[in-house]
Amino acid sequence: MAGQHFDVPSLENTPLLHYLIFHTAMAGRPGAGPALALSMFLVAIVCAFTGLCYAELSSMIPIAGSAYTYTYATLGELVAWIIGWDLILEYAFSNMSVSVGFAAHVVDLLDWFGIHPPLMWISPAYLPTGLQDFAGNNLYNPGWHFGFNIPAFLIVMILTVILVRGIRESVRANNIMVLVKMAAILVFILAAASFIKPHYWHPFMPNGWTGILTGGSIIFFTYIGFDSVSTAAEECRNPQRDMPIGILATLGACTLLYTGVAIVLSGIVPWQSVMGDAAPVVNALKRLTLLNASDELHWVRLFVLLGALMGMISSILVFQLGQARIWFAMSRDGLLPSVFSRVHVQYRTPAFATWVAGFVVGIPAGLLDIGTVANLTNIGTLFAFVLVSAAVIILRYREPDRHRGFRAPLGPVFPVLSIVFCIILMMGLELLTWMAFFTWLIAGLIIYFLYSRHHSEFANLR
């Protein structure tokens, strides 16, 4: 919502699209302001196109799985490696983002009880815009400082231990957590709506369409997980009718809740005040509580905190599970060393892969701020969506007669729109994010050609 702001313009902190059009550097990413609600609506449309592409691709494979599984079965080893390597980036940095947000909510929960741990052990070591308190006093200057975000690290490691010991997903438990999260969001919207000050919404688009684009590029990761609906194509009685309904209903519900939060949040505090805040909703409630001396808001803040924490725990658990399974699957196919597919003797879980995934997420979560890790989450996710949409087009020409339980409507229109809009959203991210992303991809290709290609299950057939 607030974007980022630095003291001097720099190319690495300039969105790619802005640089390509104007050839000038910016002093940080422009924020969407109150128009973040519009960003979320536009992102939902992009996700709808991509979700329908996922549904078609998954319906071609008679097993449940990830984009890695589908591309391996349809487009071959190299493309599968690229998307698997990209999914590791997506899952890892997504959970880093959520872990940093979780830590911020834990700190707020401790504050609710009047407990204030030393700042250096509850803050990321890297703060690109520094850290300020509610009064605007500078707590940390921009850059690196001595410290470590212990709550972010601990939650990842605790859940890693749980995953190593084995956990079975319960539909009932998951439904309860979803309902609690939705209840917390609705309670916030209803309780805070009466404190809205309409002048905070003016101007509605403080940075124009540039701000809306960069806002969409940043909040894109909040929609991660919607594509899981698409993997149920083979289970539908009438997939051609049921899949669009399921995907659009999921996205519609999320979008209504997200836009409701964005509209209310930008109406109760100045949109600039949430810059760099990993827990903007509960901190906005804290501001309102202090300003109005309201006991009601004090308890609303606690309920929203608990609902948010529960939601983030379930999110971290699911994506850590998914990330370890990606390492496991790629190792099973020979693309990674066999140690990643070893199963624990007692717990029958991929223990080594799970521990690696835990440390890969936990340590950076203790060091980096939420903005930095969210950027890499988004570019990884968007790139995976581009590959999936491109795969749909390629397979329609290569294997036009192959059975598809679901086919995205209007020929190649939806896959093409998905590719175009995902690339546009990627271009709303900073040049530094692009450089880090290409470094990750190049490192992955080096590993593939030096190791994976020679150890895969198809190595002897070449």
Q: If we measure between CA atoms, which residue out of 49, 44, 16 comes closest to residue 388?
A: 49
- Contacts of the segment 125-129: beta carbons below 8 A, 24+ positions apart: 125/149, 125/366, 125/367, 125/368, 126/367, 126/368, 126/369, 126/372, 127/276, 127/369, 128/4, 128/6, 128/276, 128/369, 128/371, 128/372, 129/4, 129/5, 129/6, 129/28, 129/275, 129/276, 129/371
pLDDT tens column, 403-446: 777 788 888 899 999 999 999 999 988 898 999 999 999 999 99
Q: Check residue 426 and report its DSSP letter.
A: H
Quick one: pLDDT at residue 249?
81
| CA dist., res. 352 & res. 454, Å (int) | 22
Quick one: pLDDT at residue 130?
75
Q: If we measure between CA atoms, which residue out of 338, 353, 322 comes closest to residue 457?
A: 338
Quick one: pLDDT at residue 62?
55
| CA dist., res. 351 & res. 341, Å (int) | 9
Torsion 448-449-450-451 (CA) sign: positive
| Residues 331/337, Cβ–Cβ less than 8 Å | yes
Neighbours of 241 (CB within 10 A): 11
- Secondary structure element (H or E) that encloses residue 132, with its range: strand 131-132
Partnered with residue 143 across adjacent β-strands are 127
Quick one: pLDDT at residue 415?
92
pLDDT tens column, 368-407: 887 778 888 889 889 988 988 888 898 888 888 887 777 8
| CA dist., res. 376 & res. 272, Å (int) | 23
Structure tokens at 281: 């909703």
Quick one: pLDDT at residue 359?
94
Q: Which fold has domain 11-461?
A: Amino acid/polyamine transporter I (1.20.1740)
| CA dist., res. 212 & res. 34, Å (int) | 9
Quick one: pLDDT at residue 125?
87
| Residues 234/62, Cβ–Cβ less than 8 Å | yes
| CA dist., res. 94 & res. 178, Å (int) | 19
Quick one: pLDDT at residue 135?
65
Please report, for the chain, how many H helices and E strands are present, in that order: 15, 4
Per-residue pLDDT of the chain (462 residues; tens, 9 = 90+): 666 666 677 788 888 888 888 888 877 778 888 999 999 988 988 988 888 888 787 777 655 556 777 777 777 888 889 988 988 888 888 889 899 999 999 999 998 998 988 888 988 888 877 777 666 677 788 888 888 999 999 999 999 998 888 766 555 666 677 788 888 999 999 988 888 999 999 888 888 888 888 888 888 878 776 655 555 544 556 665 666 677 778 788 888 998 999 999 999 988 888 877 778 888 888 888 888 877 888 899 999 999 989 888 888 888 888 888 888 888 888 898 888 888 888 878 888 989 999 999 999 999 988 777 888 888 988 998 898 888 889 888 888 888 777 788 888 899 999 999 999 999 988 898 999 999 999 999 999 999 888 887 776 665
Torsion 227-230-235-241 (CA) sign: positive
In 3-state terms the chain splits into helix, strand, coil percentages (rounded to 5) of 70, 5, 25
Q: Is 238 left (phi over 0), alpha (psi -120 to 50) or beta?
A: beta
Burial of 447: CB neighbours in 10 Å, binned 0-12, 13-18, 19+: middle
Partnered with residue 15 across adjacent β-strands are 430
Instruction: Give the phi and the psi of residue 195 in degrees, each rounded to 5.
Output: -105, 10
Contact residues for 15 (Cβ-Cβ < 8 A; gap 6+)? 26, 29, 30, 210, 213, 214, 217, 427, 428, 429, 430, 431
Place of tokens 């850290």: 131
Contact residues for 21 (Cβ-Cβ < 8 A; gap 6+)? none
The residue type at 22: F
Q: Check residue 442 and report its DSSP letter.
A: H
| Residues 48/29, Cβ–Cβ less than 8 Å | no
